[in-house]
Structure 1
Amino acid sequence: MARTFFVGGNFKMNGSVESVKQIIDNLNKADLPSNVEVVIAPPAPYLGLAVATSKQKTVSVGAQNVFDKASGAYTGEISPDQVKDLGGKWTLTGHSERRTIIKESDEFIASKTKFALDQGLSVILCIGETLEERKADVTLDVCARQLDAVSKIVSDWTNIVVAYEPVWAIGTGLAATPDDAQETHKGIRAHLAKSIGQDQAEKVRILYGGSANGKNAPDFKDKADVDGFLVGGASLKPEFIDIIKSRL
């Protein structure tokens, strides 16, 4: 079935007022394809700025993380309602840097995912294995465990996009081959079919997120289960537009 091509840009902990404006100005001036959905996720202090300056109809703004509570004594956290109040429509959850550095558990990520959905945000749910897990040939087992934590408490996946991000390929310059990514994405979709049903699984977009860039993005063009990219460092550069246009 046809799934809308999706490109997410995760700025991570990078940027300033000037640089975020410049990135968005480049997007505003670009002739972006109308059939590609784009979401940019700047650092939280720049969410309002990004919403206010983005003029492309196909570009939405999201947060890099949210908490699983609406308000309260949770210093440093950001709630889905606050993201929405600034005009954001999306959030990431489960990024490997939070799983491995902040030590967020599968269950906590699932709780945040459900709460964000319940509060009206759409979610880019990140999953993926470490190099050690890949060498042990348990990639799909790890992805299944991370997905199952969410499917146990979320039945409607209409507003979830899954991003497969092999930890060993994030920020390293290494990338899975298109064939490797397709094989893993196919396995992820097959597992989702068992847990949330074939119909939903066919509709869920699965992004590749390991060091995607303007040069290698077109190589994934004909892979049936690679529905787009979640881009890190390249989203800060002009080549982000090349990635958005990589299916033309």
Structure 2
Amino acid sequence: MRQRKPLVVANWKMNGDQHLVHQVSDSLVALSGALPDILICPPVIFLPNFPKHPNYRLGAQNLSEQPAGAFTGEISAVMLAQAGASHVIVGHSERRTLYGETNSLVAAKVAQALAAGLTPVLCVGETAAQRAEEKTFQVLAEQLDAVYSAQPQWLAASVIAYEPLWAIGTGNTATPAQAQQVHAFIRQQLARYDAAAAPDVRILYGGSVNAGNSASLFAQTDVDGALVGGASLNATDFVAICLSAKGE
């Protein structure tokens, strides 16, 4: 039996309003019984006023690689923690592709998150072209190496999210078997950094996860939950995904 408790993360991206805040919060508060760990990552402006409840925790979608200073528009890890965040998404594919975040920058952000007591949800994944060229494992290894090869002690305090870029917002999803194959590789790679920590690190799948495909993904040995985008903006759908992760 899997010992890792499932984690379901809602990434609202630049969406939502106060109505959605209360709709999602009310829906999750109404749940009872055994639940997965649930993390809501709304736009950071909603964090201070997001209702607090034991059924879920709050996270952020990004952070600065700087601790403080003259960096207009940036938000530090310490500020996020003070606003109520326990986790922060780092290296999301949209940050890498739209804003040019490099592996080294992502590593610096992970360092800031951990220094402030936040759990980084480190995103890794390949493009459609890289997958077609059979470079998936190479790309993932490079992205993971940039963060953990020199700092293996960080691994035990991290969550990993595999999000193939060809599945983000496209409606295309890796099959459960494909997801398991990649997640198993990631876990093997993590063992190279810290063999003791790797079996306990939660590896999430992200890429057009919805209420219809989540259960089959969560049934895979090394799929420990999901990073959910569009489906997290619908309270009913998101609750269904969370409930499908209760399984074990």
Question: TM bucket by the smaller chain?
Answer: over 0.9
SS in 1 for 2:48: helix
Cα distance in 2, alignment partners of residues 170 and 216 from structure 1: 15
d(CA) in 1 for partners of 2:183, 2:156: 18
Match of 1:124 among 96, 117, 121: 121
Q: CA deviation at 1:45?
A: 0.8
* Displacement of 1:33: 2.7
Matched, 1:18 2:15: no
Aligned-partner SS, 2:113? helix
Instruction: State the distance in 2 between where 1:33 and 1:7 align.
Output: 14
Cα deviation per residue 1:110-160 (whole Å; 9 max; x = unaligned)?
110011101111110000001101111111111110000001343222221
Task: Indicate the SS of the match to 2:4.
Answer: coil
**Partner residue, 2:40:** 40
Per-residue CA shift, 1:149-191, capped at 9, x if unaligned? 0013432222210000000101111000000000000011111
1:110 alignment counterpart: 107
Amino acid at match of 2:76: S
Match of 2:3 in 1: 2
Work out whether 1:213 is the aligned partner of 2:210.
yes
Matches within 5 A, 1:53-132: 53-55=51-53, 57-132=54-129
- Structure 1 residue 226: Cα displacement: 0.5
Secondary structure in 2 matching 1:202: helix
- Report how far residue 20 of structure 1 moved: 1.7
What is residue 198 of structure 2 aligned with on the other side?
A: 201
Match of 2:170 in 1: 172
Unaligned runs of 5+ in 1: none
- Structure 2 partner of 1:187: 185
Quote the residue 1:243 is aligned against.
241
Distance, in Å, in 2 between the alignment partners of 1:234 and 1:73 is: 37
Q: How many Å apart are 1:197 and its aligned residue?
A: 2.4
Please tell me whether the aligned partners of residues 114 and 154 of structure 1 are also in contact (alpha carbons under 8 angstroms): no
TM-score of the superposition, structure 2-length normalised?
A: 0.94
- 1:161 is matched with 159
- Contact 1:124 1:160 (C-alpha < 8 Å) held by counterparts: yes
Aligned mates of 1:68, 1:121 — CA distance in 2: 13
Q: Over residues 189-248 of structure 1, what are the superposed CA-to-partner deviations in whole Å (9 max), with x where a residue is unaligned?
A: 111112x12221111110000111111001123311101101001111111111111133
Instruction: State the SS of the aligned residue for 1:12.
Output: coil
Deviation at 1:32, TM superposition (A): 5.8
In structure 1, how many angstroms separate the alpha carbons of the residues matched to 2:67 and 2:24?
31
Unmatched tracts of structure 2, length 5 or more: none
1:146 aligned to 2:146?
no
CA distance in 2, matches of 1:153, 1:58: 35
Report % sequence identity: 42
Stretch of structure 1 that moved more, 238-247 or 19-28: 19-28
Whether the 8 Å CA contact 1:33–1:245 is kept in 2: the answer is: no
